[in-house]
Amino acid sequence: MKKPIFDLSAVSYRYHTAIPAIEGISISIQPGESLAILGANGSGKSTLLHLLDGLIFPNSGTITAFGKILTEDKLETEDFRHFFRSRVGFVFQNPDIQLFCSKVYDEIAFGPLQLGLPEREVVKRVDDVLDMLGISSLKDRTPNQLSGGEKKRVAIASVLSLNPMVLLMDEPTSSLDMRTRHWLIVLISELTKAGKTIITTTHDISLVKQISSRVIVLGEDHRVLADGTPHEIISDHELLHRANIIHEHETDTFGYTRKPEDLPNEKKIIGFPHSSANKNE
């Protein structure tokens, strides 16, 4: 078995040392894995990604990254920071946070330049990434001139230009139109095939099967509720219901849980416009 990229041991994190976000999480993430972290709003998914990216640090427990314990002091050292930042890329949920440079081109060049890559190499990477993601026409635009989907593409490009081994993606498909969403799913599949480790947070179970080979479910108590294959997780309706990922009424949308007609009568108050149960009312 390969050495894990990340190894979390009893990791807990509380905002302002009082508000729990992550409670006693112990997981290992192997190189090349495509992992989806599934959970309801506020379950701690984004916090977990911030911890994995060394942007915040646990109140208790340890995170080991690439065989080294990840601490604030360690990331202050030039050598380890360079080592870690060139290997782990983070696509934030809100692209407006990530696109802080004046122009798209400068945005994509920012990461490789900070890591001290030669300028010729930076220019080649930026041009290649622009070309690969089909956004060359946007290179002279300012972030304010981009649509939501374009911002997401540029945000991904700005991380891919680092050529990270690990890609952390926070709710990557949120507020994307169907075409951009499909484009992103295809891109994630290709990056997985290329051997990248992809860690994605989502509360969208329809996405899980398409982008991951392993799923971790975070409960509303901020603990790991389950860890398994997409099939195992998605077919466990009771688990998904307990994690507040599906509602018992929200049934036939994905075909994973009970059908509306199976629901008890008192639970058919609002129902679905397309369901037979609703039509009969």
Q: Which of 41, 60, 102, 147 binds another protein (CB under 8 A)?
A: 102
Q: Residues in the chain, how many?
A: 281
| Ranges within 150-209 binding another protein (CB under 8 A) | 158-159, 162
Q: What's the CA gap between 234 and 115, in Å, rounded?
A: 40
6 binds another protein (CB under 8 A): no
* Region of residue 241 (left: phi > 0; alpha: psi -120 to 50; beta: else): alpha
Q: Find out whether 245 and 217 touch, Cβ atoms under 8 Å.
A: yes
Instruction: Dig out the tokens for 133 from the structure.
Output: 């993601």
Instruction: Dig out the tokens for 246 from the structure.
Output: 């599906």
78 binds another protein (CB under 8 A): yes
Measured from the CB atom, is 17 or 144 closer to another protein?
144
Q: What's the CA gap between 72 and 70, in Å, rounded?
A: 7
103 binds another protein (CB under 8 A): yes
269 binds another protein (CB under 8 A): yes
Q: Which of 12, 59, 94, 213 binds another protein (CB under 8 A)?
A: 94
46 binds another protein (CB under 8 A): no
Applying CB under 8 A, the span of 36-44, 99-107, 195-203, 239-247 interacting with another protein comes to 99-107
Measured from the CB atom, is 7 or 53 closer to another protein?
53
Neighbours of 158 (CB within 10 A): 26
Q: Find out whether 236 and 208 touch, Cβ atoms under 8 Å.
A: no
CB 139 to another protein: min, Å = 12
- The owner of tokens 């009893």 is 10
89 binds another protein (CB under 8 A): yes
Number of residues that bind another protein (CB under 8 A): 41
Q: Which long-range contacts (CB under 8 A, 24 or more apart) does 206-210 make?
A: 206/253, 206/254, 207/36, 207/173, 208/36, 208/38, 208/233, 208/234, 209/234, 210/185
118 binds another protein (CB under 8 A): no
Cα angle value 64/62/83 (rounded, 5°): 30
Q: Which of 90, 199, 203, 245 binds another protein (CB under 8 A)?
A: 90
229 binds another protein (CB under 8 A): no
Residue 136 per-residue DSSP state: G
CB 186 to another protein: min, Å = 24
Amino acid letter, residue 196: K
CB 88 to another protein: min, Å = 8
Tell me which H or E stretch contains 148: helix 148-160
Q: What's the CA gap between 197 and 24, in Å, rounded?
A: 23
Q: Which of 3, 19, 68, 100 binds another protein (CB under 8 A)?
A: 100
CB 102 to another protein: min, Å = 3
CB 159 to another protein: min, Å = 7
| Ranges within 49-68 binding another protein (CB under 8 A) | 50, 53, 55
Contacts to another protein by CB under 8 A: 50, 53, 55, 78, 81-82, 85-86, 88-90, 92, 94, 96-103, 106, 109-111, 113-116, 119, 122-123, 142-145, 158-159, 162, 269-270
